[in-house]
A and B are shown apart, each in its own frame.
Chain A
């Protein structure tokens, strides 16, 4: 659907989080991630955040050493996706407290859980940070 994948990559090009909403084989996935990462990392700050790749668009944003890249269909509102990336980062920030790359790496399941609360099947489900984080906080408290 609208969002095809969400990928988080560090400056060296290593994938830290990857969620695909349409199915690709392993080789396709690696090839895709490689190409996109190369394209986005090569751009400087002055250039706009949208890259056209094949038949869809990549919206990306850099936060410290992490690149957040979202692949969307051609007809999607790019500025809205930029907002969404920001929302995602803020949510993770709220949960982990000053989130950094290592947090995501070592708590991969939680990051995935959060992402799942926010996006399902390529569509945005929930935009309120409280609502997103409540089940996760509940689970943390229970243990």
Chain B
């Protein structure tokens, strides 16, 4: 029975599979065959085993599971006949892998076969071992393989050599045993043995330093001689490829020389001759020759420096680059990336060609060229390069635009010589490829813009023009809206014109048009709409004349499908309508975002998305941009995590500890410190009129803004303390009550402690505030303060509100005031506060406060910082 004559049943099966028209049919046929095979296996029929296995291999290749055939492999291997063994081993290699336990069963068979008299069987066993042996098998069978490296037949020797590479890789400890054997292999004449011997050598050198030293000392010259022989050898028809004798051996030798020469000057010296010879003499009109040249150039670049050799290598590269064959160019670009490390100048010379490659129709070449270009950029050529890249951006394919725009942005950021150029380039990139630009890139742009105060006018005008043409680029629209919101007045009044600009007239209506367009367009996403809403608020303050129109636009968003938009629309509407007095201070110009710290945040341990939180948190002072912070936060989920990260929180703390201002309901959102929410807790939960409205609106505010871990625990307290109030929606009225007045409640009298003298916390021409202190027993960190407000003016104060904020290491608890009307000339109101100092003894108390009241129908606001607390509180 000839197992290798194409068994008709195998052939039939293949035919029937080929005849299947659909995948389902094929599956059916395969299933039937598998069933047959399984039945046959169960019968344990030795004759058909090999045929079954052949079929199984075919089926396996198609991608169906064939594990039921594994035991068949073992039985076949164990059978005495060579053909069965052959197919058994083949099946073994295809169907099994080193992780299967079944493999252990084979170890014994393998051992016997390695000692077999028939050298072909030995060859089979070595092959199988070499392909899939596991670490245990390697350990068991290593001595056999060692012995076989010195076998008389070169075929066995070569297979044994390769087998040892696998053994050595699996069990590096055994490397020492093979060093001597390997070095004897290097003296062989047979190419097969030589190639594998060299391979073994290479492997040993990479794994084992001792081996590396050994080979370096003893074998370098031998290897060089071998290479020389090969290069100079006469025509050998056996190994000839396109006129070169055995290019594979060339390449292997060059590889091993590379490892030997790397880091060692002596060895490198010895090699210079032969490398020069190979580099110059090899013909490069055929692929084989080019392959050798490539390897040679790589080796030259890896070994210790001899400048003449390096020049040779760069020349080879130059030739490759201008070759029309795409493969060669690709390979050249690859090499150039390594060459940049040591010879930047030479590579710069090829800059033009490389730029051409960026525009190549071949995707692989484009990618390589782009990477290379980003390595080539330095201060001198950045403008030129960027211009070219941006020109190409306009005509490139969609899938390439993303990579290209990311690269351009990083180049521009790193090397921009001046801010105005940076802004220009970024504008162009955003206009062309805005939707591919990542968040941290445009955030960085905003940081830069806010820092370049002299360029504000120019920037906002340029953005305005850009947005008119490229309004479908989302990121461009976002940046434009932010700028228009911030610097709208500069836009309309043509402030800060630079010499290069043409004057344009933009009316307030035009500016608002742009923002309105962004907010109403159906494909704007939430971040854009949110930013637009905030911008509208800012514009309502900066352009008071069309405040009505802006109000209408804001009002329309009341019906938006996004809850946050609805809510903010209502709030902003109320600000515009009723709180004109604080509106302008609310939407003042943002302070300059600190670039240095922003960059540190960005580059530091925080992931990029988290760091974007740091940027909005920077702009906190006066609680001005609290709404902005919220809205930006909503844009991406990752930002939620930010405040819990240490550096973001530290930054927050720095800001918050200095400058907190009103912890009113508006800024009761994210950046509110615990003090603020405690304050709210007090205001809301203690006998207020219409508590339902107040608490729900505040709770909604807080619950949607529950980003900050600081506020989250307070939130829990808040929500647990007012459970029946949580569910309903915010009512517009609720907020006003919070802002406009406090509820009257009985106040507690504080007892004065003799140890701490009372202080005058604040004094102005119309108002004086005194604090008296007492310590409750048992807790040295807590202090009770009774604040007395004295009206020094001849008018009565109504709607008196006292608000206070403290740094993070303090906790503040405000009780309601005795009343919110101060009669004239000496009228008093008292209010109790409780302060807990977590840094008691190390830091003393400090507090910022704000007082609002009405006198003669006018609203008055007074602010101050109280630093004169007695020490030791």
Contact = CB atoms under 8 A, between A and B. Distances in A.
A108 interface: yes
A84 B2 CA distance: 32
B775 interface: no
A47 B54 contact: no
Given A109-B90, A121-B162, A139-B83, A47 B362 contact: yes
A97 to B, nearest CB: 16
Contacts of A113: 86, 90
B847 interface: no
B619 interface: no
B6 A123 contact: no
Given A109-B54, A121-B166, A23 B4 contact: no
B57 A108 contact: yes
Interface in A69-85: 77-80, 82-84
B9 to A, nearest CB: 12
Interface string B123-147: 1000100110000000000000000
Contacts of A1: 165, 169
Interface string B307-350: 00000000000000000011111110000000000000000000
A67 B155 CA distance: 30
- Which secondary structure dominates chain B's binding surface? helix
B54 A108 contact: yes
A93 interface: no
Interface residues of A, number: 53
A83 B247 contact: yes
B287 interface: yes
B268 interface: no
Contacts of A108: 54, 57-58, 61
Interface stretch (B176-184, B238-246, B476-484, B577-585): B238-246
A89 interface: no
B158 A143 contact: no
Contact of A127 (B120, B165, B169, B192): B192
Interface string A104-143: 0111111011001000110111111111000100111001
Contacts of B57: 108-109, 112
Interface in B70-126: 82-83, 86-87, 90, 93-94, 97-99, 120, 123
Nearest to B4: A143
A47 B6 CA distance: 39
A87 B367 CA distance: 29
Interface in A19-42: 19, 21, 23, 26, 29-30, 33
A87 B191 CA distance: 15
Contact of B195 (A51, A112, A121, A124): A124
Contacts of B252: 124
Contacts of B159: 120, 125
B11 A106 contact: yes
B248 A109 contact: no
Given A51-B364, A80-B291, A82-B291, A120 B98 contact: no
A121 B252 CA distance: 16
A98 interface: no
Given A108-B61, A109-B87, A124 B191 contact: no
Given A108-B61, A120-B127, A128-B239, A135 B290 contact: no
Nearest to A39: B363
A18 interface: yes
Contacts of A17: 61
B285 interface: no
A23 B130 CA distance: 14
Nearest to B162: A120
Given A82-B327, A112-B94, A123-B199, A77 B291 contact: yes
Contacts of A80: 247-248, 251, 291, 294-295
A29 B364 contact: no
B715 interface: no
Interface string B281-293: 0000001101100
B249 interface: yes
B65 interface: yes
Given A77-B294, A87-B241, A127 B6 contact: no
Contact of B191 (A107, A128, A139): A128
Given A23-B98, A135-B120, A79 B6 contact: no
Given A47-B326, A47-B364, A126-B192, A30 B63 contact: yes
Nearest to A138: B120
Contacts of A84: 248
Q: Of B14, B158, B166, B291, which is in contact with the most chain A CB atoms at under 10 Å from its CB?
A: B291
Contact of B326 (A46, A110, A135): A46
Nearest to A42: B363
Contact of A125 (B65, B99, B196, B329): B196
A125 B291 contact: no
Contacts of A129: 238
Contacts of B130: 120-121
B364 A48 contact: yes
A128 B238 contact: yes
Contacts of B123: 135
B76 to A, nearest CB: 12
A33 to B, nearest CB: 8
B723 interface: no
B195 A78 contact: no
Contacts of B90: 109, 112-113, 116
A76 to B, nearest CB: 10
A80 B244 CA distance: 13
A74 B249 CA distance: 20
Contacts of B5: 143
B365 interface: yes
Residue from the set A106, A110, A116 with the largest chain B CB neighbour count within 10 Å: A116
A126 B158 contact: yes
Nearest to A19: B94
Contact of B127 (A29, A50, A105, A116): A116
B361 A47 contact: yes
Contacts of B11: 106
B269 to A, nearest CB: 24
B295 A26 contact: no
B48 to A, nearest CB: 15
B561 interface: no
A140 B63 contact: no
A106 B288 CA distance: 32
A62 B749 CA distance: 93
Given A77-B295, A109-B54, A123 B196 contact: yes
Given A84-B248, A109-B4, A139-B4, A130 B61 contact: no
B131 A46 contact: no
B61 A15 contact: yes
Contacts of B329: 48
B62 interface: yes
A42 B412 CA distance: 34
30 contacts: A26-B65, A29-B63, A46-B361, A47-B326, A47-B363, A50-B330, A77-B291, A78-B327, A79-B291, A79-B294, A79-B327, A80-B291, A83-B241, A83-B247, A83-B287, A86-B241, A106-B6, A107-B6, A109-B54, A109-B87, A109-B90, A120-B127, A121-B165, A121-B166, A123-B165, A125-B196, A126-B192, A128-B238, A129-B238, A131-B155
5 shortest interchain CB distances as A-B pairs: A48-B326, A79-B291, A23-B97, A47-B362, A80-B291
Given A82-B287, A120-B127, 18 more contacts: A19-B94, A23-B97, A26-B65, A46-B361, A47-B362, A48-B362, A79-B290, A80-B247, A80-B291, A108-B61, A112-B90, A120-B162, A124-B252, A125-B162, A129-B238, A135-B155, A139-B4, A140-B4
